[in-house]
Amino acid sequence: MPSSTDLDLQAVNVIKGLIMDAVGKANSGHPGGAMSSADLGYILFSEFLDVDPDDTTWFNRDRFVLSAGHESMLLYALLLFQGILTMEDITRFRQFGSKTPGHPENFLTPGVEATTGPLGQGFAMSVGMAVAEAMLRARLGSDITDHYTFVLASDGDIQTPVCLGAAALAGHFELSRLIVCYDNNKVQLAGPTSRCDRTDHKKVFEGLGWRVIEIDGHDHGQIRAALTQAKTDAGKPTLIIGHTTIAKGSCSMENNCDSHGSPFSPEEIAKTKACLGLPADKPFYLPADVVERFRARHATVRAKRLDWQKALQKRLDTDAAFEDLWRQARRTPANRTFDWPEFEPGASVATRKAWGSALGALIDQLPLLVGGSADLDPSNQTAKFRDITGIFGPDNRAGRNLCFGVREFPMGALLNGIALHGGLVPFGATFLVFSDYERNALRMSALQRLPVLHVFTHDSFYVGEDGPTHQPIEHASSLRLIPNMLVMRPADARETCLAVQTALTQQSRPTCLLLTRQGLPVLDAARFPGLAEGVAKGGYVLADAPGGVPDGILLAAGSEVSLALAAAALLPEYKLRVVSMPCMELFDEQPKEYRDAVLPPAVTRRFAVEAGRPDLWCKYVGSLDNVHGISRFGASAPAKLLAEKYGFTPEHLAGLVRQAFAGKE
């Protein structure tokens, strides 16, 4: 009978066989890194990770993030060993509609915690998960939340700025339940890492406040010892640097960069299986004894989950305050309701200030709302939230404000991790022009179907004297191109609160909230009765022509809605309807009957205005000739002067509308 040590070694070899077979069958994939990480992954999953295959959504499970998402076949093999995936799933690797896509996707495959395609973001999202665990442990108690977040990262992950920015935050926050296993095989897709990197990662991470342990990443005894040490609380996150060999165990591909991103040849697979003691005539080989060895801890973890459920029920039965907080943590977003501050009609209020007022109102109404700004607290109107709720850190786990520093991309990725963890409602804020820095994290919010609130202030050339580097031009349109993303640009303070409400009631998509620096007139709800329901529909009739039968339509969003109203007043020769379009995505999802009621097909005189790229408005007005926007970079000057120079005055807009409509006579 094989010893447990022999079975462990055989299990790792079986995993490598599955990796080679699946990648070979698909004729696509990354076998080398998955093979070099196999020892780390196997020991972690079989002996340390508290995950119950009977309930992959158990709230207090350990989280595992494969930041090296290209090594997906390793994760899928481990999920097969757990009994979460089937062999059919493995044989359909990288095929349409399978549970085993090229990179792990959280919404598709049970047991996958995060979609980790772009390198570094898995690492950064894991920091957000560890933040969420620490915050919830402070609120719910260690009997309800006390799990670990484990990460498997690659050389490519560690090289990315988003990883290092997130690592700085993790060290600063002293996230001692964050454990990163770094498969340091020193080879990446283009060649050896020595061509582009000589960083001493031990010194770097120790300088960032991490505990660093270096081991032979193929030695099971060293792996066990390192993981055991990592679970002892040193007041620091832990980086385990596992020195490994890419394509370890292969016949001739060890240390070969070609193994990183290309399938092995059939001959190489056959020879490697001979080296590993695997039957060459049995593809997708999975002997029962290694599976039994792997699952030896399943009963223990299952019992731990059942004990946790009993502890949870006891708390729910005996602690009313806990029950209320737990219900809020588990509440469906669509069931949230809010009371918003009132604003005086006609008063000049910047929508960023309206957001600040809304955020203040949410402090007590939504106690699980957490987030912060990328070093722009006063400008983003988050300073009051910070001062009232406290700053999260090692001495204040109950703090709700996260000080991200000038780290927009890590901020976005951390927010995604918090949302993936569950139980908290995350938001982050910066200037709209800096959404470029955060762009891929925003895309990953949408791709992973995460209801994160991304707040962007200073949304146009009205930033003024700061100049073109700080004046967004293409950014609103660029964000609107992201699938499954809501981009909301409210026209006034009331629309702003309703936009926040819409964002916070989303179940499976994020929202970008674009807000002004300059004051805008508060719309009178009595004069504009469609406002309350219209924002949730994305677009609505704000001011209608006499009798509700227009012969022309003006469309606008954000700060240009009040401009459109003023221009309409200068055009008495037309019966004009003014349409506010705070969210194109929501409007486009409305039934055709509603869209046609707002924009009657028979009314062909249409004109749109927005202080940004004009292109996307063509779907409503038919031609760029009927859109007044900006397709050039701005200039450093007072905002009022820029408005005159760029033609964003009622008089100039009225002239453009008159000229465009004349062609429709």
Summarize pLDDT for 581-607 with one digit per residue, the tens.
Answer: 999 999 999 999 999 999 999 999 999
| pLDDT above 80: residue 663 | no
Of 346, 410, 475, 399, the closest CA to residue 163 belongs to 410
**Residue for token pair 């957000």:** 128
| pLDDT above 70: residue 664 | no
Residues annotated as part of the active site: 408
Confidence of residue 240 (pLDDT cuts 50, 70, 90): very high
Mean pLDDT of 608-634: 97
- 260 annotated ligand binder: yes
As given in the structure block, the two tokens for residue 211 are 């505990």
Estimate the crossing angle of helix 408-421 against helix 121-140, to 10 degrees: 50
- 407 annotated ligand binder: no
| pLDDT above 80: residue 643 | yes
- 434 annotated ligand binder: yes
- 119 annotated ligand binder: yes
- 44 annotated ligand binder: no
The chain-wide mean pLDDT, for the chain, equals: 96
Summarize pLDDT for 157-182 with one digit per residue, the tens.
Answer: 999 999 999 999 999 999 999 999 99
Summarize pLDDT for 437-477 with one digit per residue, the tens.
Answer: 999 999 999 999 999 999 999 999 999 999 999 999 999 99
Confidence of residue 287 (pLDDT cuts 50, 70, 90): very high
- 466 annotated ligand binder: yes
d(CA 290, CA 297): 13
Summarize pLDDT for 305-364 with one digit per residue, the tens.
Answer: 999 999 999 999 999 999 999 999 999 999 999 999 999 999 999 999 999 999 999 999
CATH of domain 333-521: 3.40.50.970
- Residue-level pLDDT at 5: 86
Tell me the backbone φ, ψ of residue 417, rounded to 5 degrees: -65, -40
CATH of 4-301, one of 3.30.420.240, 3.40.50.2000, 3.60.15.10, 3.40.50.970: 3.40.50.970
Instruction: State which H helix or E strand residue 76 sits in.
Output: helix 72-82
Show the 3-state SS of 498-510: HHHHHHHCCCCCC
Summarize pLDDT for 194-213 with one digit per residue, the tens.
Answer: 999 999 999 999 999 999 99
Mean pLDDT of 21-48: 97
As given in the structure block, the two tokens for residue 9 are 């070694």
Mean pLDDT of 621-637: 96
- 335 annotated ligand binder: no
pTM for the structure as a whole = 0.97
Domain residue extents for the chain: 4-301, 333-521, 533-662
Percent of the chain predicted with pLDDT > 90: 94
- 185 annotated ligand binder: yes
As given in the structure block, the two tokens for residue 99 are 């549970």
CATH of domain 533-662: 3.40.50.920
d(CA 557, CA 540): 11
- Residue-level pLDDT at 1: 52
Least confident segment among 123-132, 190-199, 430-439:
190-199
Confidence of residue 4 (pLDDT cuts 50, 70, 90): confident
Do the domains spanning 4-301 and 533-662 agree at the CATH topology level? Answer: yes
- Residue-level pLDDT at 2: 67
